[in-house]
Chain A
Amino acid sequence: MLGRVTGRAPEWRARSVRETIVAEAPGLIEAHELTKRFGDKVAVDHLSFTVGPGRVTGFLGPNGAGKSTTMRLICGLDRPNSGTATIGGLTYAQLQRPLHVVGALLEARALHPGRTARNHLLFLAETQGFAPRRVDEVLDLVGLRAVARKRVGGFSLGMTQRLGIAAAMLGNPAVLLLDEPVNGLDPEGIRWVRTLMRQLATEGRTVFVSSHLMSEMAVTADHLIVIGRGRLIAESSTNEFIQRSSDRSVLVRTPDADRLGKLIVSAGGTIQPDDASTGNGNATADPGASPDDGATSIVVTGLPAPRIGELAASASIVLYELTPRLASLEEAFMELTADSVEYGDSTARAAAGNQPGELPSELPSERPSEERSMS
């Protein structure tokens, strides 16, 4: 990866070699043992991670996990109790024209309601010495040209988010920090933000985006950093994350479930009746299928789908359906963070399939309790 070799320059060197460092690793965000306490409460707890350029990195965690605080620490708005956060090897305060290096959308309402959109962007541009023409360019980029001279107090949340993204793009920065950018957006706006993030990453920029919505991250993020209660829980690619944090299962529908079940068990698999097909859940999922075709659905774990197919073929058992199922990112996330939900209650933990203290990896031979209780 780019710039891992850079390392941190000593404080006295940082200023003199600033340009070089930024040029070597413009888009590398590094958090090192970052810790932030608010009174007794530890918001961020010895958090270390690296965010690299050229991809969208999702920053996941339940509400109150410390995502926003971490982003504020990276941007120098909050002072860490200990640890460091650097961008391209420099702390935020060492950047002479920070908007040129980092564009941040930390919260939508970070503006004076009485100021026009254009004036909001204009003063930001002036702090960096950017030409006023750049303001019009970013207004065009986010599609707010028509309301540029309207006061932002009258803007909808979606328009405010767009203005925040315009502000983040003012300096054409190599790094973008976006805190819950799709919050409050309509579907069209959500798609716009997703496309923009993907495009920015493709251009080689670092895109670091926080969300508590796993489904959102599943479609946008290439890489995930998951935190709970201020601590790092997982750091991996999105695919790896889904696969690692949940056991995979295969849905099998066959008129000869008893015989196939025995074969599967003797081959080392585990079978369970499929709770979805016995309830009315299946009707909505697949309205075309008749529940009265004489077949039974079973869920197999511990055997891959091709092996199950081979077993069925060897015994001349007819299969109506053979579907490998991945746990959704949502489920994977719930499993992983069930212990660290800040304001969760016991029902939320039970629904996530974990007892407190149990790790997801300790559950491979058994389906999570939700399936048992629902069947």
Chain B
Amino acid sequence: MTAPAATIVPAEPTGGDPVGLRLMHAEWTKIRSVQSTVWSLIAFVVVAIGFSALIAIVISNTWNSPGNHPNHAKLLADPTAVIFGAGLGLGQLAICVLGVIVISSEYTSGAIRSSLLAVPHRIPWLAAKGAVFAALVFVVSAITIFVTFFLTTAILRSHVSISLGQPGVAKAVIGGILYLTVLGLFAMSIGGLIRHTAGGIAIVIALVIVIPPLVSLIPGTIANHVHGYLPTVAGELVAQTSQQSGDVLSGWQGFGVFCAWTALLLAICGWLLVRRDA
């Protein structure tokens, strides 16, 4: 048996960046180095801005058509809901898909094994992944929402004046960015629970766009409250300029409920991540 040669450094090196920074740096490399990230975000930006602009153009061109007055009333009462509604309602699905993929692709590809060999502490790993993904969604959402806002208000300028200085508008714009950011984490936690891309996406889409309208069909106040507390139904309220009749919660209350849902799912995701074999 040969004595250990000098080429081996037995003790681990100390110092350098703190663990949290190292993990986030690595997660950033991971998320930027796969094409699904780029394509999902392009889809989000194009759909969100494109559809919102399209709706604004349609509203503008049909402004004087007979029978259009209810739309005007809605636009004046809650301008951001109209501006963002079409584009973000559809565009948010790209964020959902990306959120699921960010974690499920680790499992479907087997990359999770490499990841956890390098980072055996799974909760810090999940935290770093969530932080990097949330930061990315926040930045892309902020750009998209501000572009959407200024583009659509410019299109509608000749008919109605909407500005960030009006009551509730700035809150709604910021709220829209926060909603999308938390939505990303919401989808990511489901990806981590399901660990399967197709299944995860199906469940998130069901929760975001299929179940809410079905629940709203059920008559009665209990069903009305259940509907109001559904994750994305509650979360979207913060992107409204003002509270509408029939809303169970205020904007920030709704956002709080959405955050609570997301925190709960992330906690379960983390708990299972530690308990389950990779």
Interface residues of A (CB under 8 A from B): 1-2, 18-19, 22-23, 26-27, 52-55, 72, 75-79, 92-93, 95-102, 104, 106-107, 109-116, 119-120, 122-124, 126-129, 167, 172, 174, 201-205
Q: Is the CB of B117 within 8 A of A119?
A: no
B81-116 interface bits toward A, Cβ cutoff 8 Å, 1 = contact, 0 = none: 000000000000000000000000110011111101
Q: Which of chain B's residues have a CB closer than 8 A to the CB of A53?
A: 1, 4
B1-33 interface bits toward A, Cβ cutoff 8 Å, 1 = contact, 0 = none: 111110111111110110100110111011001
For the complex of A and B, 3 pairs with smallest distance between CB atoms: A204-B4, A119-B33, A26-B10
Q: Is the CB of A126 within 8 A of B22?
A: yes
Question: What would 13 more interface pairs be, CB under 8 Å, given A19-B11, A27-B4, A77-B117?
Answer: A19-B12, A77-B113, A77-B278, A78-B277, A97-B13, A98-B118, A109-B109, A122-B33, A126-B22, A128-B22, A203-B2, A204-B2, A205-B4
Q: Which of chain A's residues have a CB closer than 8 A to the CB of B110?
A: 107, 109-111
Q: Is the CB of B29 within 8 A of A99?
A: no
Q: Which of chain B's residues have a CB closer than 8 A to the CB of A95?
A: 12, 120
What is the minimal beta-carbon distance from A162 to any residue of chain B, in angstroms? 15
Q: Which of chain A's residues have a CB closer than 8 A to the CB of B119?
A: 127
Q: Is the CB of B277 within 8 A of A72?
A: yes
With A107-B113, A127-B26, A204-B5 known to touch, is A77 a contact of B12 (CB < 8 Å)? no
Q: Which of chain A's residues have a CB closer than 8 A to the CB of B109?
A: 109, 111-113
What is the minimal beta-carbon distance from B26 to any residue of chain A, in angstroms? 4
Q: Can you list 27 A-B pairs with a CB-CB distance of less than 8 A?
A: A18-B12, A22-B11, A22-B12, A77-B117, A77-B277, A79-B277, A98-B117, A98-B120, A99-B118, A100-B12, A100-B13, A101-B12, A102-B117, A106-B113, A107-B113, A109-B109, A114-B36, A115-B30, A115-B111, A123-B33, A127-B23, A128-B22, A129-B13, A167-B114, A172-B7, A174-B4, A203-B2
With A98-B120, A203-B8 known to touch, is A122 a contact of B29 (CB < 8 Å)? yes
CA distance A305 to B7 in the complex (A): 46
A223 closest partner in B (C-beta): B1
A106 closest partner in B (C-beta): B113
CA distance A124 to B117 in the complex (A): 9
What is the minimal beta-carbon distance from A273 to any residue of chain B, in angstroms? 44
CA distance A108 to B251 in the complex (A): 49
Q: Is the CB of B105 within 8 A of A112?
A: yes
**Chain B residues within 8 Å of chain A by Cβ, number:** 44
Q: Is the CB of A97 within 8 A of B12?
A: yes
CA distance A172 to B10 in the complex (A): 10
CA distance A119 to B262 in the complex (A): 30
Q: Which of chain A's residues have a CB closer than 8 A to the CB of B2?
A: 54, 201-204
Q: Which of chain A's residues have a CB closer than 8 A to the CB of B116?
A: 76-77
B64 at the interface (CB under 8 A from A): no
Q: Which of chain B's residues have a CB closer than 8 A to the CB of A205?
A: 4, 8
Q: Which of chain A's residues have a CB closer than 8 A to the CB of B5?
A: 202-204
A96 closest partner in B (C-beta): B12
Within the complex, which residue of B8, B16, B36, B113 is in contact with A174, where a contact is CB–CB below 8 Å?
B8
Q: Which of chain A's residues have a CB closer than 8 A to the CB of B30?
A: 112, 115, 119, 123
B158 at the interface (CB under 8 A from A): no
Q: Is the CB of B10 within 8 A of A23?
A: yes
What is the minimal beta-carbon distance from B111 to any residue of chain A, in angstroms? 4
Within the complex, which residue of A26, A78, A93, A109 is in contact with B8, where a contact is CB–CB below 8 Å?
A26
Which B33-73 residues have a C-beta within 8 angstroms of A?
33-36
Q: Which of chain B's residues have a CB closer than 8 A to the CB of A111?
A: 109-111, 114
Q: Is the CB of A129 within 8 A of B17?
A: yes
A103 closest partner in B (C-beta): B117
What is the minimal beta-carbon distance from B256 to any residue of chain A, in angstroms? 34
A22 closest partner in B (C-beta): B11
What is the minimal beta-carbon distance from A58 to any residue of chain B, in angstroms? 16
What is the minimal beta-carbon distance from B8 to any residue of chain A, in angstroms? 5
B110-135 interface bits toward A, Cβ cutoff 8 Å, 1 = contact, 0 = none: 11111011111100000000000000
A26 closest partner in B (C-beta): B10
Q: Is the CB of A115 within 8 A of B278?
A: no
What is the minimal beta-carbon distance from A151 to any residue of chain B, in angstroms? 9
